[in-house]
Homo-oligomer: A and B are copies of this chain.
Amino acid sequence: MLLNEELRTKGELAKEAAFKLGTLSTALKDQALLVMASALEKQEKEILRANEKDVAEAQARGMGKALLDRLSLTSARIKEMAEGLRAIAALPDPVGQVESMWKGAQDIQIGRMRVPLGVIGIIYEARPNVTADAAGLCLKAGNAVILRGGTDALNSNKAITEVIASAAESVGLPRGSVQLVEDTSRETATQLMKMNQYLDVLIPRGGAGLIRAVVQNATVPVIETGIGNCHVYVDSAANLQIAEAIIINAKTQRPGVCNAAETLLVHEKVAREFLPAVSAKLLTLGVELRGDSLTRELVPDVKAASAEDYQVEFLDLILAIKVVSSSQEAMEHIRRYGTKHSEAIITENYSTARLFLQNVDAAAVYVNASTRFTDGFQFGFGAEIGISTQKLHARGPMGLKELTTVKHIIYGQGQVRE
């Protein structure tokens, strides 16, 4: 693969930086994160000025309101980015941890030591705050990072990267630890996805289209994140009060995120008792309901669901509903339409709960709790780089540990293989 000048230069620099970062003390990395946080606050004006330019250009191009909101920085948002970096500094450093140590053949002593992945590529879209968050997490885990944000946020991303990269260098982090790809053309993105000689892993952060494009084009190993078509299944043996609280929480507490519920499955035995009451509440909360014919018989205000409604991630105040005749049918529906993110059953039946936990294939499978808990902080991992919905390397919330790998260290005293 021929790489353009920018990628080659940044790739080389990142590889050198990663080699040095892997050996730095926790104290120095934490100091760098704190200095980066202060620098963001101190240089707020430059960042906001760059962001205004992006926002003005996006407005001129006719960008929609929701996207404009994602793109826009404020003093409060910059403060949040800084606080995010401070929170990362406060997390334990996974690098150098030896998870276990055992005796192998002939008493060689073998340990599994956590080490950085090396150079991480992050491809993301309109949110400029990802620049600081992703850089902070990668650095704390001892990795160099090459960021490739969207064209819309280029000025903001450049300003943020400049501020944090020079802050990091000022305390002794190697040059090239944090870099931004400034050529945001599609050709350069494609080259980035294939630069196996420099990148150890590529993490796309964004919508389904972006993730699909990265999976299709990358030769660098990819960790897929974040597509969540999550279900809540209310079993015939459900505590209906719990069921109501959970579906309301899973749908409405923050509808735009990947662990929000998109479909409600209800066992036919409790549908008559459950659906009219919960639908009334959901409608009051502004949720649009789209159901199958059984649901619509019970609740006239529900619109007809198309096949597609069970497939898409609404990321909005819309809920698909389906009445099923058994937990088996619910699990089949989840198997067919789910994206292996987060799935919940509400039941008081021991065997049904156990079957659901065992048979449903997803990063997180819940009994009697909201899917909204699939999150690094809620799980106790701290800040996360994303929610992995694939099966290799990391599954579910990816915190600092998931940004490392292991190496085996072996202590011998002259052993040779027989």
CB distance B105 to A410 under 8 Å? no
Binary interface profile of A, 364-405, with partner B (CB < 8 Å = 1, else 0)?
Answer: 111111101110011110000000001111011000000001
Question: A196, A361, A414: which has the most chain B beta carbons within 10 Å?
Answer: A414
Question: Is A271 among interface residues, defined by CB-CB distance under 8 A?
Answer: no
Contacts of A299 in B (CB 8 A): none
Q: Tell me the smallest distance from the CB of A155 to a CB of chain B, in Å.
A: 33
Instruction: List, in ascending order, chain B residues with CB within 8 A of A368's CB.
Output: 411-415
Inter-chain contact B253/A417, CB cutoff 8 Å:
yes
Cβ contact within 8 Å between B221 and A392: yes
Among the 9-residue stretches A84-92, A164-172, A239-247, A312-320, the one with 4 or more Cβ atoms under 8 Å from chain B is A239-247
Q: Interface range on chain A: under 10, 10 to 19, 20 to 34, or 35 or more?
A: 35 or more
The contact sample of 20 A-B pairs, CB cut-off 8 A, is A104-B373, A105-B378, A105-B379, A117-B392, A118-B361, A201-B392, A215-B219, A245-B416, A246-B416, A248-B416, A364-B408, A364-B409, A364-B410, A367-B411, A368-B412, A369-B410, A369-B412, A373-B410, A392-B392, A395-B408
10 interchain residue pairs of minimum CB distance: A369-B412, A249-B416, A372-B417, A242-B414, A391-B405, A393-B393, A105-B378, A392-B393, A368-B412, A364-B408
Residues of A within 8 A of B (CB): 19, 22-23, 96, 102-105, 108, 110, 113, 115, 117-118, 196, 200-201, 215-216, 218-219, 221-223, 239, 241-242, 245-246, 248-250, 253, 335, 357-359, 361-370, 372-374, 377-380, 390-393, 395-396, 405-417
